[in-house]
Structure 1
Amino acid sequence: MMYALLLALVIQAAPDTLTLQAAYDAASANHPRLEEASQMTAVGARSAEAVRAGLKPRIAFSGQAVYHSDVAEINLPVPGASLPSVPHAQYRAGVGAEYVLLGRGTVARQAELLGLEASVSAEEAAVGLWQVRHQVEAAFFGVAKADAQLEALRLMEEEVQDRIDQLEASVARGLVTRSTLASLAAEHLRLGQQQALAEAARTGAIRSLSILTGQRFIADALVIDTESPDRPTGSRPEYTVFDAQRSLLDHRKEMTAEATRPRLNLFSEAAVGRPPGLNLFGDQIEPFFSAGVRLAWPALDWGAAARQREAIDLQEAVLESRKDEFTRALDLQTAGLETQLSALRAVIAEDEKIIALQESIAEDAARRLEAGTATAIDYLAEARAASQARLDQHLHRIQLAELQARIMTIRGEAE
């Protein structure tokens, strides 16, 4: 029993390392619009199948029963002579079939159009999947920054506690005043408060990650790995949307020519009726059959197709303008970030030197504090500066990884 309990504690405390790429993948898999993209593709496929069904023979059953109070009659001025008349009660039931002989390409192109429309909708859903990367980055690096701050605060807290322990003996010997010790104790309490705030920020960021990824993270066991994510292999999904919209417009332009093309259908009907078929004077219910071809050719459309093509040309120009505007917006975003990236790399190169200098100054202040030649305020100022220098180094590295990730997300493709 004790072994099982210890094993459970070890498993629970095992570090759960999370990389940014893994967070991206999990958030995409958990995003509500993931299914929307596949659903829109399925909608397009089903709609296209429904249109293509028009290429198959259409079979329809029909029936009719009607009574005419007045029908055509032929009266001869010959005594005793009579001619058959059209029956007042008429019945008809049959089955007809119709098949497209000429114009099948129009139906096929209509099916392709529906597929392209669904493709645009699916790609628009993919844009939502891409945008979630920004939310993931904010939460992911929020945890990383909180971790760095907590580490710096813990080190500072340990340092202050060590000084308190060392100075208690000096206070007893009268080398250091109790007010100095009280100042250190107050600083120790302030550090505890700051840790509580940093823990709250970390917990909030972890909760955001859990919502985005659909995964439950153990706060005490979560380890953030800030290594650079995989570079995207394709372009921003918005460009795919632009391309899909352009293909859709091109297809619509091609379809404008369909409006003036001839259509030829084959039709037939087998039925029974009274009167049978065109035998208007038949008084018995008899079978009959008819078959033929039907031609429709809207040869003159008064320039409607040409105006439709002009309208589509304008839509394509607007689409190209929007694409250029989007590219310009991305360039503006990355320009500022790349400047920050260069500056941050230069800052990181100097961090080690600053840390070494600040730690040397803090150690000297600690020795002077123990000797009674420096006040607690002097020591704490230098200790905070050294702690801040170490924290700055961690934060600068995290910011570097964050900037690199943001630039890759904005560009959507490898440099």
Structure 2
Amino acid sequence: MRYLPFLCLLLALPARAQEPIQLEQAYSMAEQAHPLSQQAGLLRSASTLRQEQIDKARLPQISWNAQASLQSEVVEFPFELPIPGGAGLDLPLYRFQTTADAQYSLYDGGRIEAKLEAEAAQLAVSEAQLEVELEPLKAQVNQYVFGILLQRERMHILESGLEQLQGRISQVEAGVEHGVLLPGELSRLQAEQLRLQSEIIQVKSKTDALRGGLAVLLGQDVPEGVEFELPAPAAEMLPSDLQRPELKLFEQQQQQLMAGLLGIEADQRPTVGAFLQAGFGAPNPLNFFDNSLSPFAMGGVRFSWNFVDWGKADRSRQLLSLQREMIGQRQAAFTTQIERQEVQIRTEMAAIDPLIAQGQDIIQLQEEVLQQIDAQLREGTAVAADYITQSAAVRQAQLQVEQYRLQKQQLYIQLLTLKGIL
């Protein structure tokens, strides 16, 4: 008895390993396993670096410059300059200077802030574009999941039919032994048994292939008996608002254009900056009378305003307005396309309910016929071929109804993903 708790723990481990997979969870797993999902972090890192680069423009810009020149002639005055001390102005043919230059922006008209806004808008557009590129993964997950579910239904129907067939084989064997039935009838049933077993193997192979494809898509193993939790069809109407990532992309593109408008307005404002220059020069650039290598320095404030741009800013605004209008047209076209697809899906869903009801009636009638043939087979008034044909008809009717049910469920999931709810 002391090993009982340990045994219970071992029995509980497989149960935990077979936890059902929710469809939304499968979507998330597929996105995380996709190579493009790694770009989200790279996009943010690159944007952070660019923002830091832009923000560095607030700091003083310091540079070291040097220049040396030799000229063929200099200015000569045909008269004596009245220079105190009697010294003449002797300008050398050479010139050399090296300076350390510093510039600091006191007011840039909001250009740095506009560039930061543009970079943030570009990051939002890139992230939204990435979401749009990953959106088709949901349809791929749906295809694999419903493919697995359909094969499982086929497997269930085939195994049930095989079980019934094995019971009839036992009855026919007894009839053959008593001379009531011919051995050929038993051979036909045994051949059908082998055919069903072969079909079960094929269905299992297809199921394993689908599970393998889904495992690659999700980036992890999909156990053979795992269950999938699907959203139950809601009785109430779905919300009319779309929540698609494409709409978010259109919105972010509009915001990006608005950020570009901030840059245009900033370029029309004046700039004010301080500057400082210090260095050595020969002759001294600030003192023409000093031909020796001597230090000098100069500082001040610089004002600049390009108040006449010949309509460049207005044309840029018009271009942004046209681009915004084009984005709006693409958004309207996308919304119209989604609405058409929604109408088509809802129409197909409404048409399935009568098919399911009709299919159930067909199953009931086919099963009644099968029961009659079964009774006739036991009495020796029917042949095995009739039973085999009717059994196949029952299985086909059962599979058709299950296909309708899965199709309706798949259409509902497709509607949820189409509207961006799932």
- Distance in 1 (CA, whole Å) between partners of 2:231 and 2:63 is 66
Offset at residue 19 of structure 1 (A): 2.9
Query: Cα deviation per residue 1:22-43 (whole Å; 9 max; x = unaligned)?
Result: 2112112212222223322332
* Counterpart residue number, 2:103: 98
SS of the residue corresponding to residue 222 of structure 1 reads coil
* Counterpart residue number, 2:127: 122
SS of the residue corresponding to residue 218 of structure 1 reads coil
**Over aligned residues, Cα RMSD in angstroms?**
3.0
The answer to whether residue 112 in structure 2 is matched with residue 113 in structure 1 is: no
The answer to whether residue 396 in structure 2 is matched with residue 388 in structure 1 is: yes
Offset at residue 148 of structure 1 (A): 0.8
* Counterpart residue number, 1:408: 416
* Counterpart residue number, 1:200: 205
Unaligned ranges ≥5, structure 2: none
TM-score, normalisation: structure 1: 0.88
The answer to whether residue 280 in structure 2 is matched with residue 272 in structure 1 is: yes
Offset at residue 10 of structure 1 (A): 9.0
CA contact (8 A) 1:164 1:181 kept: yes
Offset at residue 142 of structure 1 (A): 0.8
Offset at residue 138 of structure 1 (A): 0.5
* Counterpart residue number, 1:133: 138
Letter in 2 for 1:282: D
- Distance in 2 (CA, whole Å) between partners of 1:55 and 1:92 is 28
The answer to whether residue 306 in structure 2 is matched with residue 301 in structure 1 is: no
Counterpart selection for 2:37 from 34, 39, 49? 34
Of the structure 1 ranges 9-18 and 342-351, higher mean CA displacement relative to structure 2 is found in: 9-18
CA contact (8 A) 2:286 2:296 kept: no
Q: How does 1:245-256 map to 2 (within 5 A)?
A: 245-256=253-264
* Counterpart residue number, 1:379: 387
SS of the residue corresponding to residue 290 of structure 2 reads coil
CA contact (8 A) 1:87 1:281 kept: no
- Distance in 2 (CA, whole Å) between partners of 1:96 and 1:126 is 47
* Counterpart residue number, 2:226: 222
The answer to whether residue 215 in structure 2 is matched with residue 210 in structure 1 is: yes
Q: How does 1:77-92 map to 2 (within 5 A)?
A: 83-92=88-97
Unaligned ranges ≥5, structure 1: none
Query: Cα deviation per residue 1:317-353 (whole Å; 9 max; x = unaligned)?
Result: 1111110111111112121111111222343345555
What percentage of aligned pairs have identical amino acids? 28
- Distance in 2 (CA, whole Å) between partners of 1:20 and 1:77 is 97
- Distance in 2 (CA, whole Å) between partners of 1:104 and 1:97 is 20
SS of the residue corresponding to residue 418 of structure 2 reads helix
Q: How does 1:329-344 map to 2 (within 5 A)?
A: 329-344=337-352
Letter in 1 for 2:52: E
Letter in 2 for 1:347: L
Query: Cα deviation per residue 1:159-200 (whole Å; 9 max; x = unaligned)?
Result: 112211210111122222222222212212221232222222
Offset at residue 137 of structure 1 (A): 0.4
The answer to whether residue 20 in structure 2 is matched with residue 17 in structure 1 is: yes
Query: Cα deviation per residue 1:42-75 (whole Å; 9 max; x = unaligned)?
Result: 3223212211221222111222344445444557
CA contact (8 A) 2:109 2:267 kept: no
- Counting matched residue pairs gives 409
Counterpart selection for 1:55 from 58, 65, 89? 58
* Counterpart residue number, 1:143: 148
Of the structure 1 ranges 224-233 and 242-251, higher mean CA displacement relative to structure 2 is found in: 224-233
Offset at residue 234 of structure 1 (A): 7.7
- Distance in 1 (CA, whole Å) between partners of 2:77 and 2:375 is 135
SS of the residue corresponding to residue 180 of structure 2 reads coil
* Counterpart residue number, 1:184: 189
CA contact (8 A) 1:92 1:272 kept: yes
